[in-house]
Amino acid sequence: MDVNFRKIDIDQFDEDVLLETELYDADPRDPAQVTEEAKARAATVRGSLSKGDITGALTTVLENAPYGPYVEEAKTLTLQTLLTILNSTKSAEIANIVKSLDQDKHDTLMKYLYKGMAMPGWGDVSGSVLLGWHEKLTEVAGIGCIVRVMTDRRTV
């Protein structure tokens, strides 16, 4: 009995296959430009943190977040920068900081929180920090923020 037919990828013969690249528009910027912008943002965030401006640092890192398949280095650098901000924030200040952000930044922050939670061993941040931010963000932005993040195809 021949069972090799089970190893054939039948999707390669289908003309109507939906590719991941067709689900959303890729970041229109050049990948090298996106990486340079992420490095510049990281330097700006370090300066803001040294001055104690956590809200400004968070706003800076959440603007123009890199997305798409070809900017992995910029995504990683932006996540590391965000985790630095999250680690350096006192838990009593989180609610006021989150309230100062607009809806788009709420959604982007939630994406980064989920990405941080998906890291093996949670990376450089403890689980309590990410869950604390998630709790405060959900209180301010509501459940709609979670739904928008889960249904958005553009991953950070």
Structural domains in the chain, CATH included, are 23-151 (1.25.40.190)
Do the Cβ atoms of 125 and 87 come closer than 8 Å?
Answer: yes
Res. 123 pLDDT band, cuts 50 70 90: low
Determine what percent of the chain is predicted with pLDDT higher than 70. 95
- Tell me how far apart the alpha carbons of residues 37 and 42 are, in angstroms, rounded to a whole number: 9
- Tell me how far apart the alpha carbons of residues 46 and 53 are, in angstroms, rounded to a whole number: 10
Q: Say what the pLDDT of residue 141 is.
A: 97
Give tens-digit pLDDT for 19-70.
777 777 777 889 999 999 999 999 999 999 999 999 999 999 999 999 988 8
- Tell me how far apart the alpha carbons of residues 139 and 81 are, in angstroms, rounded to a whole number: 24
Measured in whole angstroms, how far is the alpha carbon of residue 64 from the centre of its chain? 11
Give tens-digit pLDDT for 78-90.
999 999 999 999 9
Q: How much helix, strand and coil, in percent to the nearest 5, is found in the chain?
A: 70, 0, 30
Q: Say what the pLDDT of residue 2 is.
A: 62
Chain position carrying tokens 């869950």: 131
- Tell me how far apart the alpha carbons of residues 50 and 22 are, in angstroms, rounded to a whole number: 42
The whole-number average pLDDT for the span 94-118 is 96
Question: If you ran DSSP here, which 8-state letter would residue 119 be given?
Answer: S
Q: Say what the pLDDT of residue 24 is.
A: 75
